Amino acid sequence: MVSLRLLVALTLSSFLLTCLLCLSQETNYSSSKIGRGYRLISIEDTHDGALVGLLQVKQKNNIYGADIPLLRFYVKHETENRLRVHITDANNKRWEVPYDLLPREQPPPLKKNIKRLKKKKPLSVSEYSSSELVFGYTSDPFSFKVKRKSNGDTLFDSNSNESDPFGSLVFKDQYLEISTKLPKDASLYGLGENTQPHGMRLHPNDPYTLYTTDISAVNLNSDLYGSHPVYMDLRNEGGKPYAHGVLLLNSNGMDVFYKGNYLTYKIIGGVFDFYFFAGPTPLNVVDQYTTLVGRPAPMPYWAFGFHQCRWGYHNLSVIEDVVENYKKAKIPLDVIWNDDDHMDGHKDFTVNPINYPLPKLLNFLDRIHSIGMKYIVINDPGIAVNTNYGVYQRGMANDVFIKYEGEPFMAMVWPGAVYFPDFLNPKTVSWWGDEIRRFHELVPIDGLWIDMNEVSNFCTGKCTIPKGRFCPLQGEKLPNSTCCLDCTNITSTRWDDPPYKINASGKEAPIGFKTIATSAVHYNGVLEYDAHSLFGFSEVIATHKALHELQGKRPFVLSRSTYVGSGKYAAHWTGDNKGTWEDLRYSISTVLNFGIFGMPMVGADICGFYPAPTEELCNRWIEVGAFYPFSRDHSSVISPRQELYRWESVAESARNALGMRYKLLPYLYTLNYEAHISGAPIARPLFFSFPNYVQCYGLSTQFLLGSSLMISPVLEQGKTEVEALFPPGTWYSLFDLTQVIVSKDGNYVTLNAPLHEINVHLYQNTILPMQQGGMVSKDARTTPFSLIVTFPAGANEGEAKGNLFIDDDEMPDMKLGNGYSTYVEFHARVKEGSVKVWSEVQEGKFALDQGLVIDTINVLGLSYGSGELVRIEIDGEPSSGVSNVKVSTNEHKYLYKEGDGEKKTVMVGLKGLNIPVGKRFSLTWKMGS
């Protein structure tokens, strides 16, 4: 007879075995098919031309939870080039990205037409089209396709056959899955933020997890500070390029598995809310994307100058010395930054009275402001729990903090115990704006740097302030990020321990690990589980609003954590990188990705955040970083100082590279305007300008500024040459306009690249506006202009164009028609030896009032025999009437050339023109034969 004790033991063993088998089964399901999908049971047109239908689950299972039995799908061509497919629970409202946070069209109310829909009979197959995108569906099991009408190409196909490694649509409360087939030759870009070791093109089998996380950018293939569930797909069909974009607007944590010939989303909540953008060019895709999520914010002119920062400027005299040493080294500098060194005990909106005495700080700011320099400080979202701290007192009085079990959720960052503001609460937005106003009245800052907003927490779980010991730890030489609160793990709810584990932190960490517990609650009962990745986005909206209302000027906000639409309000830097050659290379891919994400004002910490870079690496990094859209040297308190003047060799490279950047400021600022009106990235992959040239689809070691200025940096130790890819056409060296490369079919060319030089080339058919540079952008922007006009080398006929936008950069809006801006289109033509350069001007008064003039025009690539220039005319009058116009002719030197033999070409320069920028002009001459 079996004893009771043995029977209990056997029963317990059986139970544990069953649990293990269930656990094993659920683990295995992460790579296998779950269920049999849904069937379409009804569908109808709506009054506004959309489709609404009902989907019924075919076979229920409990893998990752119960299936939602009835779904409502809604499809609409919102524009001629944008299609939306929205799938949600038909009976219960689910979490979506708030419509007031990211404004967009709302689908019809859920239950309004369900009864009527249940009586409708579905069609077996149907199509629904706009001018370019065609939506098609299959009823049982339900799947949908999106096709391009012009060539019939399938852009998205969720159908799953028995032979496919992925399954049909899955929709549970905490697990959603959908897949699409892909052609193997498609090139995909996006799905970030992550550090991609293989370059910016998505690499099959690399993990792509989206969940905002404070782990440094040195972690490869991990979910970093931002969540951008959007990708661009570039294909070449019979020699013709086609690009389209796919956005899944969902803020919950997700894994995206890209396998080369298919892609699968696995999401832990929310809805399927797909947007498809027809393109067909990469620029079209970003234009269409930013039309939906928001155009990039206009940046002030000074933001395109050089910035210097360090965590470890322990007192005011240090930053005073930094500014002075940049001046002595003749290295341009526009903005000096403080990390939290200026704060009193690491508390937001405070000033350390000992190390940064307020009278001396204000005197310093008066001095730098008088020469046009700016000052920016950091701000972390954690508000110190301190009853003597006014910011905390007012926050508590206004009830602005995220809650857990009815009380503010306690976490720890640099000041010790903190509470986190709930920026989904309108009262928090008002309180935050008031705190920024109070601080600005104390210290006239010029922008705000919001950091740690993923949100970052040094502790995990439910925490309390310890009794009998200090927290944070006292007497430490360096700030301590060790958790010193008393904490217990929170795993009791399905929100803190969901059934499906995303690859958080690159190691399937609990999703509440070192952040806010995901069962914490925001305004109106919103769970942190759903809103986690929106924290930085909601904070940046509140910060931008506060600065705009405070100053009445164009705000500058730099944010570490970002989401879809953050570019409408902020700039971004790529976070904590390392001073290594690998990190230098990775930075290019991340910068280019953020251009696709609609955040064109982006850069990486030049020379690396930590540890100390080598002298050679810092030389090469400033040569790249001088051409990031956002250019800032930043380092950690645990690293030695690395300002650019600290090595004479680096100072020389900085003078060279930043000297060119400051000459290019009018071009960069015009690209800022183009980004604001069309979404066009400032820094772009080469395939944006050369989508026909498939060799550049995977290129992540060179990049373009705008459409035609190519940067080809040295990215390897010890190299004094660089192998650079030149797409077909004529390219001119920007540092020596007489040097030419003619790449007829596209070629790699070996370029000399000694330590202090970077290769920058300007493409044919371009007119590039430049100025003379300076030590600060305020001075540089008043200097005379020069125009560089590039024609294909030796062409009998050619055309070139460029543009220039000038405005009062303190105005909040960046647009024409406000009386504070001027827009100029430049044109040039060569035909059988006759050359014409002219301009068309809109709103010329502003530029005329500034006294801006064009002094020099250099025209490149002209054919030349043995004669001289004859009869130069400006606005129809011979230039002989303009006594100080000087003409020069310089023969081009070919570094590489395909075809056309030894045909001689020249650059013709005209100097001393003194043409007002705000006035239309026409300049003509004929080349002698």
Q: What residues are annotated to the active site? A: 451, 454, 576
- Report the alpha-carbon distance of residue 767 to residue 804 in Å, rounded: 10
Q: How far from the centroid of its chain's Cα atoms is residue 588's Cα?
A: 12
The DSSP output letter for 327 is H
- Report the alpha-carbon distance of residue 239 to residue 236 in Å, rounded: 6
Four-residue CA torsion sign, 725, 731, 733, 739: positive
Four-residue CA torsion sign, 712, 715, 721, 727: negative
Q: Give 223's Cβ-side CA count (13 Å radius).
A: 26
Four-residue CA torsion sign, 779, 785, 790, 794: negative
Distance in angstroms between the alpha carbons of the first and the last residue of the chain: 117
Of 641, 585, 586, 583, the C-alpha closest to 615 is: 641
Q: Which two tokens stand for residue 755?
A: 């330590």
What are the φ and ψ backbone dihedral angles of 604, each rounded to 5 degrees? -110, 160
Is residue 14 classed exposed, middle or buried when 0-12, 13-18 and 19+ CB atoms within 10 A define those classes?
exposed
3-state helix, strand, coil in the chain (%, to 5): 25, 30, 45
- Report the alpha-carbon distance of residue 287 to residue 565 in Å, rounded: 13
Are 60 and 120 a contacting pair, CB within 8 Å?
Answer: no
How many residues does the structure list for the chain? Answer: 929
Peptide bond into 472 cis (omega under 30): yes
Is residue 819 classed exposed, middle or buried when 0-12, 13-18 and 19+ CB atoms within 10 A define those classes?
exposed
Ranges of beta strands (E only) in 612-663 are: 631-633
Rounded to the nearest 10 degrees, how much is the dihedral formed by the CA atoms of 788, 791, 797, 800?
Answer: -50
Cβ neighbors of 889 (< 8 A, separation 6 or more) are 864, 868, 869, 906, 907, 908, 909
Ranges of beta strands (E only) in 640-708 are: 683-684, 703-705
> Nearest-5° angle of CA 392, CA 445, CA 680?
105
Hey, which residues does 803 pair with through a beta bridge? 825
Rounded to the nearest 10 degrees, how much is the dihedral formed by the CA atoms of 856, 862, 867, 868?
Answer: -10
Q: Give the count of beta carbons closer than 10 Å to the beta carbon of residue 7.
A: 11
Of 457, 386, 449, the C-alpha closest to 420 is: 457
What are the φ and ψ backbone dihedral angles of 230, each rounded to 5 degrees? -135, 140
Are 221 and 197 a contacting pair, CB within 8 Å?
Answer: yes
- 815 Rama sector, left if φ>0, alpha if ψ -120 to 50, beta otherwise: beta
The DSSP output letter for 537 is H
Are 316 and 443 a contacting pair, CB within 8 Å?
Answer: no
Residue type at 532 in one-letter notation:
H
The DSSP output letter for 518 is T
Hey, which residues does 830 pair with through a beta bridge? 798, 835
